[in-house]
Structures are given as structure tokens and as C-alpha cells.
Structure 1
Amino acid sequence: MRILSLPILLAWALCGTAQAVEREADSYNIDTDITIKTDQRTRGISDSLMEPSLTLHTEIAHESGLIGLLEVARVSKKQFPDGSGAAITLGLGYRWGDPEAWHFGVGAAAELFPGAKFDAPHTFDLSTFTPGDFKTTDFNSNFLLFEANYGALEGRMLYVVSKTYRGADTGGVCGQMLLLASNPTDALECYGRGDHDSRGSMLFDLDYTVDLMPATSLRLHVGHQKVKNFKEADFTDYQIGLTRKQWGLNWNVDWYATDTNARELYQVQDGNKLRATDGNKVVFSVTRRF
């Protein structure tokens, strides 16, 4: 954790007292992490097409409880076509309570994939067996967040307020199933429900962290996403991780697993083959905190 140095220097120059420096230093802190990892996973799904990724995470916390964050991660352009190859997360929230007992948080967040979009059919004519009404959809999502925690146990709920959650609409879900499913029946059933978006989707997370040794901790996670209007995109994810603090770095190993309803929604065309992004995997990463 780094205390912001510029406000400290300004306070010293203006006030000329150590007390002013101390008050300013206590007002807000900033943490910045840079992580190199063998795979970029979000809710158990690979965003980097099972390739290495780099993540920058900055978090600013004020003593009042206000908190802001910025995260930039490398993602696959094959999964997020026409994009810049980056995922940007912005968040602003407020936390209160006792860190050793009950503590809570509320906030809003946006996950952005600059330039990334796709075209897909939003209707399907059964009489001619042809798709129609092609529309363009992006992957950007906006959320409202509430968390309730007790000690090391953290529970979190996100509510999607944007039109879609990561491109989940009739074209993104039904169209992907029609394109890749071996049996088109489920895709035609999906189209039969009409043209919908996924505003109102809900994401749930439960995390627990325990210290095994002074420099080693264990992380346990289970999550579930309930995608509005598209039960095919619902799934549950699991994670077990270990972190070891050594030589000024955090060394992490995490096992990810998912239980998806329609695996074709998590398949990506890579050259002449399909690659599944929802497979179980062990991910190694190293984090440097500034």
C-alpha cells in the first residue's frame, strides 16, 4: 500500500508542520498491482483464449469509506472481435462496518471492451429456414453492486443495468447456438422466445480467505450467474487458490472449474478449430504490489 506522496509534499509546503502531513497521509491510500498470469479468467471463463495475460489494477480508498478502482487486462481479439484487445473495469463505491465482523459495500461498475462488437441475426424464419434482422451488439456491461461480509467471508451480488451483459442478447446467445450447436433444436427454441436483451441479469459470488501460515493464504470461491431471458447462459463457477508472499511478490496458483448449460456459448473459432474457454484449468500468476 502506497500513501500518495504529492498531497503530502503540498501539505508540508503550505502548513509547514508534521501534523498536517499526518492528517493528509491518513485521508486516502492507493494500491497498484501488476499481475502476469498464464490465463485471464473471469468467473471461470477464459478471456484470453487460454493464453498469457497482463493485468494492471489500481484501487484508491478514502478514510470516509469511498473507494474507486481501475483495472486494465489483456483479452483475446478472437473472443472480442474488432476490439483493442483490452478489458477495462471502472468502479466507484462505498464501504462501511467492522473489517473483523460485519462490513458492507455498495457501488456501481462498468466493464468495457473498447471497439469490440459482433453482428448476428435476431430472428429466424422457420418457413424458409433462414436467419434475419441482423444487429450489432457490443460487449460492454454496467452493474450495480451490493456486498455483505463477515470477517474473511465475502458475499457479493451484481445487478446488470446495461442493455446486455457481455453481449448476451438474442443474436449473441441464440445466434451462437445456431452457429455451433450440433443440434439446432435448442437454438430454434431460443429464437422462438422472441427478441430479448439481458438487462436484469444477476451475478452472485461467495469468497472465503484463510491464512494457512504467516505468508501463505487459501482462497475459496463459488459464483453463479443468472442471465435474464437466456437460461442457456446460466452457469456456476468454482475456484480454489493459494497465495505465497515471497521476495516482495505474491505467487499464486488457482484452479478454476465451471458448470455451463450450453458449452457452445463458450467456444471460439481459432483458425480451423474450435476452442472451449470454459474448461477446468490451473492458472499460475505473479503479482507485484506498489
Structure 2
Amino acid sequence: MKKLILAAAICGAFSVSARAQTADAPAAPAATPEHTFTANVAVVSDYRFRGISQTYKQPAVQGGFDYAHSSGFYLGNWNSNVSGNSYNNGAGLEMDLYGGYKFAPVQDLNLDIGLLYYYYPGAEVGTTGVKYNNGEIYFGGTWKWFTAKYNYGLTDFFGLRDATAPVTPRGDSKGSGYLDLSANFDVYEKTTLTLHVGRQWVHNYSELNYTDYKIGVARDFGFATLGLAVIGTNADKSLYTVRNTSGNGSREVGTPTAVLSLSKTF
């Protein structure tokens, strides 16, 4: 009887051990889908691009979509209304088209290279016939919470050349660059703190160079993400002032402001 009881105990122990091992075994990681499609939409109190208002300090509705392949290649489109005071004679629309390749050479380090084109349907600088459309190539890297990215201009900087220069004409502005340094921290449940500083260089037109900054916090509520950020620049106010095309006043578009946003990614 004792032998039977001992045998039963041993069998029971092995059974419990097997169940424990099964329960403790890590679940197999979910397979990365070969194709991924996402969309996004947002409403903001002011559309700031590199710290400069694109909507004459008025609200904007924005949205786009992205496609990513498991190999690292991706394509996307993003759109926003812009002010006709800043982008004359057009549809009051900015359409961004981009594509690139992301890869991780080592753990926690992700690199990104791509092309970006800003398109403003119908818009041109005054009566010069010069378009605002702008093309750039970018290189970036993310390590844990820190991101560094550099954009290099392949075209004139949003139509800036002799015929459209707000200062003494000095040729084209191809080769302008922008350095973006940003950090994102999880400070609370579903709450992210963002710190950013950037530097814009305008080739041949150094008066237009400036530094911009952003301090923001965003909370994901599930149905949408609510964000609040302080954004500003040290841009020369006299050069970054936009006049109302109706002749009724002007606005300094690089001065600090608070931007409220509501966004959702699907």
C-alpha cells in the first residue's frame, strides 16, 4: 500500500510539474504581418511645421495613411489644410508623399532613410509662377527614447530663389537642411512627454535660419489621444511675418504658442 501511495505521489508530482511547465512556458511571439495598413486623423488648434504656423495661427484638420512591408519598406501620405496667406493662389492644401526603408542593425537602434515631397496644389509665390512644392531626403535613427533626424533639400526651399527672396537675392536655396532632435518618455499610464529642439538652415539665406522647440504631453484615452504642447522659435519676426492677402493686417507666425490636438490612429 505504501508503495502504491508513493508511486501515486510521484506520478502526481510529475503531473503537477508538467502542468506548471506548460503554464509557465512563454507564449510564442505573434508573427509580424507581411503587409500593414494604418490611417490617422487629427484636429489641431494651429498647424506648426518646424515651429512655424502654416495656418495663419488658425485650426487645421489633418489625416493620412501608411503602408509598411515586413521587409522594412514603407509608403505614406499625409494631408492638412494650410493658409492661403502663406501659400497663395492654391487650394489651401498640403499633401505630403513619402517612402523609405527602416531597419535595425543592432538591438534598440532603428535607422530610417527616405524621400519626402511636399505638394501644394495650384499654389505659387505671388505672380512669379514659382511653386512652393518642396522635395527632401532624410536620414534618421531612434535609440530607445531618443530620435535624431536630418532632412536635406533636393529642391529650392519651398520656392525660395532670386525671384521670390524676401531679402537680397542670392541664388537658389537647394541644399537647405533641418536637424530634428526629439525624446519621448512614458511618464504615466498611457501618457507621453515629448521634448524637441530643431534647427533650420536655409542655403544662401542665413537670415532665415532659426531654432525651434516643443514641449508637449499627450494622453491616450482609447477613443482618441489628447495632446497639449508649447511650440516656439527664435525666428526673425520681421522675416517670418505673413500678411493677410486681403490687406487686413499681418501675423508673426514663429512666435511661441500653445497647441491643442485631438488625434486617432486606426
Q: Match of 1:118?
A: 125
Confirm or deny that 1:265 pairs with 2:225: no
Q: Which residue in the other structure is 1:210 paired with?
A: 185
Q: Is the 8 A contact 1:95 1:103 kept in 2?
A: yes
Q: Describe the SS at the equivalent of 1:80.
A: coil
Q: Offset of 1:57 from its aligned partner?
A: 2.3
Which residue identity does 1:245 align to in structure 2? D
Question: Where do 1:1-290 residues align within 5 Å?
Answer: 26-97=33-104, 101-119=108-126, 135-162=128-155, 164-173=156-165, 176=166, 187=167, 190-191=168-169, 194=170, 196-260=171-235, 262-270=236-244, 271-290=247-266
Compare the two structures and name the one with the higher strand fraction.
1
Q: Which residue of 2 aligns with 1:132?
A: none
Distance 1:266 1:57 in 2: 28
1:273 CA drift (Å): 1.1
Letter in 2 for 1:155: A
Whole-Å separation in 1 of the counterparts to 2:106 and 2:144: 6
Compare the two structures and name the one with the higher helix fraction. 1
Is the Cα contact below 8 Å between 1:99 and 1:150 reproduced in 2? no
Instruction: Find the residue that maps to 2:173 and give its secondary structure.
Output: coil
Cα contact 1:27–1:63 (8 A) shared by 2 = yes
Gaps of 5+ in 2: 1-29
Query: What is the CA-CA distance between 1:250 and the residue it aligns to?
Result: 0.3
Q: What is the Cα deviation at residue 241 of structure 1? A: 0.7
Instruction: Determine the C-alpha separation between the residues in 1 that align with 2:259 and 2:208.
Output: 24
1:218 Cα offset (Å): 0.3
Deviation digits for residues 77-120 of structure 1, max 9, x if unmatched? 11101010100100010000069611101111101111111247
Query: 1:214 is aligned with what amino acid?
Result: E
Deviations 1:129-183 (A, max 9, x none): xxxxxx4321111011111221121100111111x1112223333xx3xxxxxxx
Task: Please give the alpha-carbon distance, in whole angstroms, between the structure 2 residues aligned to 1:98 and 1:239.
Answer: 29
Residues 99/281 of structure 1: CA separation in 2 closer, same or farther (3 Å cut) = farther
> How far did 1:263 drift?
2.1
Q: Percent identity?
A: 25
Contact 2:88 2:123 in 1 (8 A): yes
Partner of 1:12: none
List runs of 5+ in structure 1 lacking aligned partners: 1-21, 121-134, 177-186
Q: Cα offset for 1:60? A: 1.3
Bigger-Rg structure (1/2): 2
Q: Counterpart of 2:73 in structure 1: which amino acid?
A: L
Question: C-alpha separation between the residues in 2 aligned to 1:224 and 1:216?
Answer: 27
Q: In structure 1, the residue corresponding to 2:130 is in which secondary structure? A: strand
Instruction: Tell me the SS of whatever aligns to 2:114.
Output: strand
Q: How far apart, CA to CA, are the structure 2 residues paired with 1:205 and 1:247?
A: 29
Structure 1 residue 65: Cα displacement: 0.3
Question: 1:247, 1:146 → 2: CA distance?
Answer: 32
CA distance in 2, matches of 1:224, 1:57: 26
Count of residues in Structure 1 that have an aligned counterpart in Structure 2: 235
TM-score, normalised relative to structure 2 = 0.84
Cα distance between partner residues in 2 of 1:206 and 1:100? 20
Distance verdict in 2 for CA 1:283–1:60, change over 3 Å: same
Distance 1:114 1:245 in 2: 34
Question: Taking structure 1 as the reference length, what is the TM-score of the superposition?
Answer: 0.77
